[in-house]
């Protein structure tokens, strides 16, 4: 076994929820400001999930004050505390870069209905 493979396997987190591009998520990450550390939430739609194993990352997009903001997070980083999945979206692509050009109602994604309701 390779030493690098062993290190990567140790860094992988347990408890990362199942989600796909098009889903709405809340990402809670640790932010250091001055000497203090606090938790900051970023809520938006997953537009890309790329990479694999310990280097897997997601890009989350949201609209803040009328401006689109995209932020990339490493899933298995110690800076990411937890990820909560909200709505499940119905999309037919794995990369939703076309949402960057859409504004307002045009940027909506249909929600997947739960089977029990």
pTM listed for this prediction: 0.86
Question: What's the CA gap between 46 and 21, in Å, rounded?
Answer: 5
pLDDT of 115 higher than 80: no
Both structure tokens of 98? 């076309």
Task: Return the higher-pLDDT residue of 48 and 1.
Answer: 48
In the chain, the domains with their CATH numbers are 3-102 (2.30.30.790)
pLDDT of residue 84: 95
- Name the pLDDT band for 16 (thresholds 50, 70, 90): confident
Locate the DSSP E strands across 51-90: 57-64, 67-74, 80-85
């Amino acid at each position: 076994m390779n030493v690098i493979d062993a290190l990567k396997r140790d860094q992988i987190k347990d408890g990362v929820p199942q989600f796909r591009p098009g889903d709405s998520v809340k990402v809670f990450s640790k932010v250091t400001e001055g000497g203090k550390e606090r938790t900051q939430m970023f809520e938006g739609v997953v537009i890309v999930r790329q990479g694999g194993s310990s280097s897997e990352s997601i890009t989350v997009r949201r609209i803040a004050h009328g401006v689109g903001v995209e932020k990339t997070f490493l899933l298995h980083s110690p800076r990411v505390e937890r990820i909560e999945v909200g709505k499940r979206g119905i999309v037919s692509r794995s990369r939703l870069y076309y949402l960057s050009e859409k504004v307002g109602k045009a940027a909506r994604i249909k929600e997947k209905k739960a089977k029990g309701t």
